Amino acid sequence: MRAHAGDRIVVESERVAQAGRQGVIEEVLSEDPTRVRVRWDDGHTSVLTPSAGCASIKPAETGPTA
């Protein structure tokens, strides 16, 4: 999993009745293992080391090129 600042991250819930979390990666603290600072959509910030299979990263959308 390769992360960059500005990418979106989606973390799946461990419970069936609970929704997953989504946020924006603000900073990559470590690449091996992946460790990132995330600003969640609810406004909170945390440091996350996602375990295999629990998170997906969507690249930040870039504007049109000239």
Token digits of residue 51 = 């375990």
What is 20-51 written as a DSSP string? Answer: -EEEEEEEEEEETTEEEEEEETTS-EEEE-PP
Written out in words, the top-level CATH class of the domain with range 8-58 is: mainly beta
Q: Could you tell me the sign of the dihedral formed by the alpha carbons of 50, 34, 41, 56, in that order?
A: negative
Ordered per-residue pLDDT tens for the chain, 66 residues: 688 999 999 998 878 888 889 999 999 999 988 899 999 999 999 999 988 778 899 998 765 655
Distance CA 21, CA 41 (A): 8
User: Structural domain boundaries of the chain?
Assistant: 8-58
For residue 54, the model assigns a pLDDT of 83
pTM for the model stands at 0.80
Please say whether the dihedral angle defined by the alpha carbons of residues 19, 13, 17 and 59, taken in this order, is positive or negative: positive
